Amino acid sequence: MKRSAVCLLTAAVLLGGCSFNNDSVKEKQETTSPAQEPAAREESGPVLDASYFNEVKVMDGKEVIQNPENPMVLVNKEFALPSDYSPPDLVRPNVMYSFGDQDIEKSYMRKDAAAALEKLFAGAKQDGLFLFAVSGYRSYERQEEILAAGAAANGEEKALESIAPPGMSEHQSGLAMDISSESNSFELNQEFELTEEGKWLKEHAHEYGFILRYPKGKEDITRYIYEPWHFRYVGKETAAVIAENDWTLEEYFDKVKPAE
C-alpha cells in the first residue's frame, strides 16, 4: 500500500514537467473534517495534511484508492474508487432540482458538500439567480450503465471524452454536483457558460468551497472535455488557492506539499 503525491501520468502532463515522487509519501495520518479547511498557503506554496493525499493499492492493474472517504480524494482516469464504495454520510441537499422532488440516487451528496451546496445556491439566489441541481452521487453500477449507453450511441472512444469509466467518476465520491439553470433548459452542455447562472458560478463557486472541475483549456490535464456544469467540493481554502492560480485539482496536487 502506498501514498502518492498525486499527479496524472498522461503524456501532456509529463511534457508540462509533472513528476511522480514517492519519496514525499507520508504515513497515513488521522483524517480530519473538511470543515477544518486542510489547505494553507505559505510562501513556498500550498501545504496539505498528509492524510488528504490518496492512499492507493494496485489491483487488477488499476490504482485503487484505499481511503475513499478522504474529502480531498483525487478521482480521475488514473485513480479509481473501489467498486463497492458508497459514502456513508450521503444526504439530500435542500436545493432545487431539475427533476423536482424525486428522492433518487443522484439527488444526494456527502454531508459537508451538501451543506456547502445549499449555501452556494442561496448565494446565487441573493444575486437574483436560480440554480438547479442535476446530478450528484452516482453508484459504480449506474456509471457502468451510463458509459455503456454512451458507447452504444457514439462509440467508446468518443464516450470516454466526457463519461468516466466506472470507479473513476467523481460522482461516486459524493463530492460533485452537476448544475444547470432554467435559462439553459436544465441541460448539461457547454452553452451553460454563456448563461448568467454559468457566469456567476465560474466567478463565485470557490467562495463556497467548490471548483470548476473540468475547465476550458485544461483538457490534456483532466482528460475530459470542458464541463462548465460540473462542480466539485474541496473546501473554501483549497478552492481559493485553486481559483487564484487557475489550477485543476491535478495541478493542485502536483504543487501541494505534505505538512511536516
List Cβ neighbours of 57 (8 Å cut-off, separation of 6 or more): 1, 2, 63, 64, 66
SS3 (DSSP) at 229: strand
CA 130, 171, 146: angle at the middle one, nearest 5? 100
CB 65 within 8 A of CB 82: yes
Cα dihedral angle (92, 115, 142, 170), rounded to 10 degrees?
180
- Do β-strands 109-110 and 132-135 pair in parallel, antiparallel, or remain unpaired? unpaired
Residues labelled catalytic: 227
Give dist(CA 75, CA 138) in Å, integer. 13
- Could you tell me the CA-to-CA distances from 221 to 29, 77, 169, 198, 208 in Å, in that order? 28, 10, 16, 22, 24
The CB density around residue 142, as the number of other CB atoms within 10 Å, is 17
CB 218 within 8 A of CB 228: no
CB 184 within 8 A of CB 195: yes
